[in-house]
């Protein structure tokens, strides 16, 4: 009986060993800029955390944040070690934590665009030229530090009109996220707005009612945008080579449902240098000191 008991205990310890080891491993916390409402974000990224945990052999937990600025602050304070940032928030995070690296981007992210959309009641139509007829209308950006919802729309307003947004439009606001921009323009609370093209295309594909009362009036030239960035001290925390293991796990992600969380067709390698145009543009219009 004693021999049988010892055998059972040994078998149990073998089974428990991986779980115990996982419990003793630091948790990798990751987040994403809140470019949509929190419920959709939790749905989008909860399964991504499970995938990364399985691939990396460490506990991984998705942490929602309330704003773009909060995502950068959480990264700086080591409350998260990995984040799906926009182009500008990624630059801000890497400047805040020296040694941090842009790991991957979506295949689409070096050719990202913003849509300028208008409420159909304005009568504005889509054009290849910047919509100068929007002068004097009300306008909303997304979040104040959004690459696609503020930075490049702001840049191109100045570039195409020779005026600041406040000079060109009658009223300028910040909605907070792309989904809210779409809702505000659809309702007529603002007549024109700028947002991430993937959010608008998804709304159209899903038959969202907001797509019925808005239309695209202009598309910006392409620019680099979203990326996964990891803290520069990740290898110290999780072990040598961990940063590259995270990169490989993301590059290997091929589940269509998980990729739809971003939404991206696949991930490709990225580097900090890819986002130099973001930093240059942000400094030029005064978003970065």
pLDDT value at 9 more than 70: no
Gap between the Cα atoms of 219 and 237, Å rounded: 43
pLDDT over 70, % of the chain: 91
Mean per-residue pLDDT of the chain: 91
pLDDT band (50, 70, 90) for residue 157: very high
Query: What is residue 3's predicted lDDT score, i.e. its pLDDT?
Result: 54
pLDDT band (50, 70, 90) for residue 22: very low
Q: b/e map of 37-47 (b: 16 or more CB within 10 Å)? A: eeeebeebbee
CATH 3.40.190.10, the chain: domain bounds: 2-109+224-284, 113-219
Per-residue pLDDT, averaged over 50-69, amounts to 95
Query: What is residue 36's predicted lDDT score, i.e. its pLDDT?
Result: 66
Q: In Å, what is the CA distance from 66 to each residue of 31, 34, 50, 70, 289? A: 11, 7, 22, 6, 23
Q: What is the CATH number of domain 2-109+224-284?
A: 3.40.190.10
Per-residue pLDDT, averaged over 177-184, amounts to 96
Contact 109, 125 (CB under 8 A): no
User: Which residue would you say has higher pLDDT here, 36 or 27?
Assistant: 27
pLDDT value at 14 more than 90: no
* pLDDT per residue as tens digits for the range 25-35: 899 999 998 87
Q: What is the CATH number of domain 113-219?
A: 3.40.190.10
Contact 240, 162 (CB under 8 A): no
The predicted model scores a pTM of 0.80
pLDDT value at 13 more than 80: no
């Amino acid at each position: 009986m004693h021999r049988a008991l010892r055998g059972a205990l040994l078998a149990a310890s073998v089974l428990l060993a991986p779980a115990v080891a996982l419990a003793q491993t630091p948790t990798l916390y990751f987040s994403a800029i809140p470019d949509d409402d929190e419920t959709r974000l939790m749905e989008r990224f909860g399964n991504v955390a499970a995938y990364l945990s399985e691939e990396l052999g460490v506990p991984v937990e998705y942490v929602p944040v309330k704003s773009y600025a909060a995502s950068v602050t959480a990264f700086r304070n080591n409350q998260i070690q990995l984040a799906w940032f926009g182009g500008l928030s990624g630059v801000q995070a890497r400047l805040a934590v020296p040694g941090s690296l842009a790991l991957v981007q979506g295949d689409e992210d070096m050719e990202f665009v913003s849509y300028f959309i208008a409420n159909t009641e304005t009568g504005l139509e889509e054009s290849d030229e910047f919509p100068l007829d929007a002068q004097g209308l009300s306008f909303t950006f997304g979040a104040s530090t959004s690459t696609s919802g503020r930075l490049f729309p702001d840049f191109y307003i100045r570039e195409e009109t020779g005026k600041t947004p406040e000079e060109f439009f009658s009223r300028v606001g910040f909605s907070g996220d792309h989904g809210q921009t779409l809702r505000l323009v659809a309702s007529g609370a603002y007549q024109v707005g700028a947002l991430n093209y993937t959010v608008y295309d998804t709304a159209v594909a899903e038959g969202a009612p907001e797509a019925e009362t808005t239309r695209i009036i202009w598309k910006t030239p392409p620019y680099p945008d979203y990326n996964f960035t990891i803290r520069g001290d990740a290898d110290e925390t999780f072990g040598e080579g961990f940063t590259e293991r995270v990169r490989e796990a993301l590059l290997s992600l091929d589940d269509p449902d998980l990729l739809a969380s971003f939404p991206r067709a696949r991930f490709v390698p990225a580097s900090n240098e890819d986002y130099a145009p973001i930093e240059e543009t942000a400094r030029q219009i005064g978003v970065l000191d």
